[in-house]
């Protein structure tokens, strides 16, 4: 039986203005994953496990920064969110 290699990490950025990307891998991505060249956030190391379909910060976000998806504000950071972190609703206002 041939072993199947796992899919490489995949993130999707809806607009060039977005400061978050969506994790597209089945089952999400584990903490410590390095995003490869060719995907949004290339070179970032994930600071948290990020579930499939959830957001990851592409850059450091300061408290109060606007979080953009589809180039539209989806909230404001309630505290500093380092690049590579899972951006979940509890962190947004």
Please state, in angstroms and rounded to a whole number, the distance separating the CA atoms of residues 4 and 24.
Answer: 19
Alpha-carbon distance of 73 to 21, in angstroms, equals 14
Whether 61 maps to a domain, the answer reads yes
Other Cβ atoms closer than 10 A to 50: 27
Determine, yes or no, domain membership for 2.
Answer: no
In a domain, 65, yes or no: yes
pLDDT digits (tens, 9 = 90+) for 25-62: 999 999 999 999 999 999 999 999 999 999 999 999 99
pLDDT at 3 over 50: no
What span, in angstroms and rounded, lies between the C-alpha atoms of 69 and 52? 16
Confidence of residue 5 (pLDDT cuts 50, 70, 90): very low
**Residue 67 sits in a domain of what CATH number?**
2.30.130.110
Domain count of the fold of the chain: 1
Catalogue the E-assigned strands of 1-93: 11-12, 20-23, 55-57, 66-69, 72-76, 86-87
83: domain range? 11-91
In a domain, 6, yes or no: no
């Amino acid at each position: 039986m041939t072993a199947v290699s796992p899919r490489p990490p995949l993130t999707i950025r809806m607009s060039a203005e977005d400061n978050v990307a969506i994790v597209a891998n089945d089952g999400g991505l584990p903490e410590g994953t390095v995003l490869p060249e060719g995907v949004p956030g290339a070179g970032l190391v994930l600071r948290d496990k990020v579930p499939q379909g959830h957001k990851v910060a592409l850059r450091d976000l300061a408290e109060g920064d606007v979080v953009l998806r589809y180039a539209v504000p989806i909230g404001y950071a309630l505290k500093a969110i380092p690049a590579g972190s899972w951006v979940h609703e509890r962190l947004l206002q």
